[in-house]
Structure 1
Amino acid sequence: MTPLHTWKFFRAGGFDQVQIDNGADLLALKGLDQKLWVALSCPTRGIEFDTKTLDLIDHDADAHVHANEVLAAIAWAGGLLRNSDLLVEGSDRVALADIDDSSEEGQRVLASAQYILKTLGKPDAAEISLADMADIEKFVAGLEFNGDGVVPASQINDAGLRKTIEDIMKCRGSVMDVSGNAGLNQEINDAFFAEVAIFSDWGVKGDADADIQFLGDKTQAAADAFHAVKEKVDDYFTRCQMAAYDVRAAVPLSRSTEDYEGIAAQTLSAKNTDIASFPLATVEPDKPLPLVSGLNPAWQKQIDALRERTIAPVFGDKEILLASEWATLCTKFDAFEKWQSAKPACSAEQLGKERLREISRSKHKEAIDDLINRDKAVESEVNAIRSVEKLLRYKRDLFNLVNNFVSFRSFYTGRDKALFQVGILYLDGRSCELCVRVDDIAKHAEFANTSGLYLAYCDCVRKGGTEKMSIAAAFTAGDSDFLMVGRNGIFYDRKGQDWDATIVRILDHSISIRQAFWSPYKKLSKFIGDQLQKMAASKAAASDEKLLAAAAVPTPPVTPGAPPPPPTSKPPFDVGKFAGIFAAIGLALGAIGGILASLVSGILGLQFWQIPLAIIGLMLLISGPAMIVAWFKLKKRNLGPVLDANGWAINARARINIPFGTSLTKLARLPEGSRRSLADPYAEKKPVWPFYMLIAGIIVALIVVWQMGFFGAPPVK
């Protein structure tokens, strides 16, 4: 009985995650309940991981790596190494002595590694590295047989066989060999020769039947000339039969004078389509078809071909064709047409009968089959060569993948960047380390909005816009006062390349407790500022209207010698009219003053040590609700929807709490030990009157406190 594996778990992100430290942990993953895995699937693109390794793991090539494929990769690599702890080293080299040759596959991999080193001129090397496999595809392509079952024409020395392969590719297409050259595989080869065999059988049947090939090799040419005019000749003889039926039909069936007048104004030629629509010749009762003169010029060329290729071989040289002779010709072609209707579809027909007969008589099919079989025979050896590269990649990358798949150890410990972290965004005095690549912003935002994270979607470009990508950056510290669509920043990818980043969309959520604390005051300040701006704007508009109205009043003409008009007297101030306004203002000021007086008197009525507590309590009363709501929202921030929207299958609620979120977004801070000068030569000069007001306020407050007996003096009676 296999002993149970003892697992270690660490808690991060609000849930338990498996801790994988050694090869035994990796091999035991197949027995770990997948409900404890953080992810069950991840995409093969859009993450910071070697794409070739991901493609090797992605066995079904669906652009996603699934849990079972990860387990299969671990089992395969672990079975080829004598010590499974080598899988956690992260090294891209392996000693030949560490390859387990106890299995047949292990023997092939070891032999392939030794063969590669020998080919590279290092027969005595004790280890092989991924650098040795840098040109593995070129190495495989350079082999005479590379195991892909494709025979390129360029590698065939026999000229006749090479020509046949080229003809096959011309007719049936080709596939690419590992070498990059076009060639044939078994499917194309079999299809071509099967097609040729069927077509040849059909051709032999026609050649052997005298009724079909009644003119021998010239039958096809005669048939082509016959079919080119058959419909038109049938039309002519039918018209003549109609004229024989009723002589009155001869004239209209030959086309009327008006029809000729309709084309009379045109520049006529034998290619004119209007002329071609006229009968082959003038219609008369039972009239033969003239073959030399009296023909419609648009059909003269086709009738000449009919006379030369069809009529002359059957009836001899004739200048007219009787209706009965035409009927005989039609009968003769019945067998040929029936044979033609049974003609199989054959792409090789374009090569011609002689070439097809030559290919059929040759032994080229057997030769090509032999080459394909010899190529396939080394498939296992070539696969073993590729398996060496696969083993090296798995040895280097599997441990890193598992710590970003089974658990998010890299992300939550901060020792390494997670696979989905594609870089750092610098914007608004902050650096955001949680940035994921996004292909479709609208689609991603629709689901990622449930994460509770403040996400800024940015379009990033570099090299003058020739390279573009989009990212979603999470802001998890600071505030959002100056984060808005259109703001620019710089994004550094994991390679250190800089991109111009512009915010194009924002998912607005709480960022920090500090932002929530100041939000009521900022909202009040914004409200007051907006109201003052509206009031100022309305006053300015009213003033402008008065000026425009005054300018619109016409000035009366001045009569020479007349006294100036008396000045217009202003209407007296109507106290009653404004009494209501003054009363309302007085009530408002009285209410505000009463509230402030009650507040101040309440605070001043406290003991000296109680006053700061009262002020703090008042501020908490104002900011507390917003802070509590923000606290609950920040605790619920979840990374899962952000990754799920990118094609991951996140299996856990990967929380981003307040302390961890603060570590993902760094605020600007002066370096430790920096010296700071506060002397700003361009600082705005502050007015003096606020200080005087402050001093006066302190004096008044001290007087009030003294009168209340706070300093021990009796209150004033």
Structure 2
Amino acid sequence: MSTNSTHTWKFFRVGGVDQVSFRNGSDIASLDQLDQKLWMSLAMPTRGVEFDARTADLIDADKDGRIRPPEIIAAVKWAESAFKDLSDVIKGGDSVALSAIKDANILAGAKRVLASLKKSDAQSISLADVSDTVKILAETRFNGDGVIIADTAEDVAVKKAIEDIIAALGAVTDRSGKPGINQAKLDQFLAEAQTLSDWAAKGEADKNLTPLGLEGTAAAAAAIKAVKVKVDDYFARCRLAAYDPRALAALNRQEAEYLVIAAKDLSITAQEISGFPLAKIEASKPLPLTATVNPAWAAALSALANAAVTPLLGAGKTSLTEADWTALLAKVGAFECWTAGKPVTAVEKIGLPRLRELAKSGVKEKIAELIKQDAALEGEFNQ
């Protein structure tokens, strides 16, 4: 029997049906020339047949659960490019000699797999060698997906930098299943770090914005913010007491309120106590910073004195007048306006000193090179 193919086919009859006999690699390579009217079937399910399911899934390019002639022909073309002689496919077996592989990427990938399994001297690669892909990829430093994990780095500093990037931006899952980063993550990290550093540099260079330096002014502003509502409340009450002495008793808490909390187990952080004024209200009275203050606010007022009052107004102050408080607010006002425009970045959690250290260390170039090395192996692993 013949077809319009330029290839000479041999047929055999089984059950009254003529079927093509695949005698050698040439028959397989010429399958695209065989009239599809002579094919036994034009579609085959990937399940429920005596055929390896994983192989069927690889051939089923559109993943519709059925294999059709174009997919079979595409698989043959791939095999033709991969092997020196398609006759080896007919021989069967569970291993392939390295010498039989034609495609350079596949050959390199096979050798890399064998090396990861500590079988560098092997002359063939078996199905068992490549079945446990998780194990193979877990033990391979580079795996061609353009993602590197911390353990990819042999340099401790580079490894720590990769961990920092993952901590800041989250991970990209490597083929090994471990968390890693790719070039996009590295670029994002570097861009955000530069943006934050540039913003901070502006403040550091302007003493009107950061009179105590960046960290010192930030600490002072935080200490002020922690007590601002209560300090404003205290001076407002003192002004009202100066306006009308009759209000003094009402501005301080009533005895009955103390009796209510006195009947309970007291804690200096109890909500009832923290709601009382910072100190006893008197007309135009300065705010004490240490003695005779509301015990629920003693720690916060001490922090205010240490972080803001002493460095900004001078040492030795044990109390604040309302004018002192206004001056204190003015000294950090520009800083607070400036920080309101602080760029929102995910890398801030790493800390500015660490970000600047990374920028100067040269690890970014080393990380980029590792990613490049990994991505260069894509052809070996995507087979």
Match of 2:313 in 1: 315
- 1:261 pairs with 259, 262, 287, which one? 259
CA distance in 2, matches of 1:235, 1:354: 37
2:203 paired with 1:206: yes
Could you give the per-residue CA deviations for residues 680-707 of structure 1, whole angstroms, max 9, x where no partner exists? xxxxxxxxxxxxxxxxxxxxxxxxxxxx
Match of 1:356 in 2: 355
Q: Matched residue pairs, number?
A: 365
1:228 shift after superposition: 1.0
The letter of the residue matching 1:207 is E
The letter of the residue matching 1:3 is N
Question: What's the RMSD between the two structures over aligned residues?
Answer: 4.1
Could you give the per-residue CA deviations for residues 471-497 of structure 1, whole angstroms, max 9, x where no partner exists? xxxxxxxxxxxxxxxxxxxxxxxxxxx
Q: Is the 8 A contact 1:150 1:177 kept in 2?
A: yes
1:20 shift after superposition: 6.5
Match of 2:4 in 1: 3
Structure 1: which 5+ residue stretches go unaligned?
Answer: 388-717
The letter of the residue matching 2:59 is I
CA distance in 1, matches of 2:248, 2:87: 103
SS of residue paired to 2:217 = helix
Q: Is the 8 A contact 2:5 2:33 kept in 1?
A: no
Match of 2:219 in 1: 221
The letter of the residue matching 1:319 is T
Distance 1:313 1:93, change over 3 A: closer
Q: Is the 8 A contact 2:146 2:374 kept in 1?
A: yes
Distance 1:272 1:181, change over 3 A: closer
Could you give the per-residue CA deviations for residues 580-630 of structure 1, whole angstroms, max 9, x where no partner exists? xxxxxxxxxxxxxxxxxxxxxxxxxxxxxxxxxxxxxxxxxxxxxxxxxxx
CA distance in 2, matches of 1:283, 1:342: 38
Match of 1:660 in 2: none
Q: Is the 8 A contact 2:172 2:179 kept in 1?
A: yes
Aligned residues with identical type, % of pairs: 41
Match of 1:189 in 2: 186
CA distance in 2, matches of 1:363, 1:131: 42
1:71 shift after superposition: 4.9
1:63 shift after superposition: 8.2
Match of 2:25 in 1: none
Match of 2:328 in 1: 329
SS of residue paired to 2:224 = helix
CA distance in 2, matches of 1:266, 1:111: 78
Q: Is the 8 A contact 2:313 2:328 kept in 1?
A: no
2:118 paired with 1:121: no
Match of 1:662 in 2: none
Could you give the per-residue CA deviations for residues 289-344 of structure 1, whole angstroms, max 9, x where no partner exists? 23233322211221122122212222332233222221222222221112222223
2:372 paired with 1:370: no
CA distance in 2, matches of 1:281, 1:116: 75
2:146 paired with 1:149: yes
1:56 shift after superposition: 3.1
CA distance in 1, matches of 2:150, 2:246: 71
1:207 shift after superposition: 0.9
Could you give the per-residue CA deviations for residues 270-303 of structure 1, whole angstroms, max 9, x where no partner exists? 1221111111123344333232333222112211
1:181 shift after superposition: 5.5
The letter of the residue matching 1:371 is L
1:89 shift after superposition: 6.0
Structure 2: which 5+ residue stretches go unaligned?
Answer: 23-27
Distance 1:120 1:333, change over 3 A: closer
Question: What TM-score, normalized by structure 2, do the two folds share?
Answer: 0.76
The letter of the residue matching 1:339 is W
Q: Is the 8 A contact 2:226 2:300 kept in 1?
A: yes
Could you give the per-residue CA deviations for residues 361-402 of structure 1, whole angstroms, max 9, x where no partner exists? 11111111112212222332344xxx4xxxxxxxxxxxxxxx
CA distance in 2, matches of 1:236, 1:120: 79
Distance 1:48 1:167, change over 3 A: farther
1:212 shift after superposition: 1.5
Question: What TM-score, normalized by structure 1, do the two folds share?
Answer: 0.44
- 1:303 pairs with 296, 301, 304, which one? 301
Q: Is the 8 A contact 2:111 2:120 kept in 1?
A: no
Matches for 1:480-559 after TM superposition, within 5 Å = none
Q: Is the 8 A contact 2:108 2:380 kept in 1?
A: no
The letter of the residue matching 1:206 is G
1:175 shift after superposition: 4.2
1:114 shift after superposition: 7.7
Matches for 1:381-392 after TM superposition, within 5 Å = 381-383=380-382, 387=383
Q: Is the 8 A contact 1:7 1:18 kept in 2?
A: no
Distance 1:313 1:129, change over 3 A: closer
Distance 1:271 1:122, change over 3 A: closer
Match of 1:76 in 2: 78
CA distance in 1, matches of 2:18, 2:282: 102
Distance 1:112 1:228, change over 3 A: closer
Match of 1:394 in 2: none
1:107 shift after superposition: 4.8
Report the more deviating stretch, 170-179 or 291-300: 170-179
The letter of the residue matching 1:287 is K
Match of 1:667 in 2: none
| Structure with the greater alpha carbon radius of gyration | 1
Distance 1:47 1:182, change over 3 A: farther
Match of 1:252 in 2: 250
Match of 1:293 in 2: 291
The letter of the residue matching 2:121 is G
Q: Is the 8 A contact 1:221 1:309 kept in 2?
A: yes
The letter of the residue matching 1:372 is I
2:59 paired with 1:57: yes
Distance 1:117 1:315, change over 3 A: closer
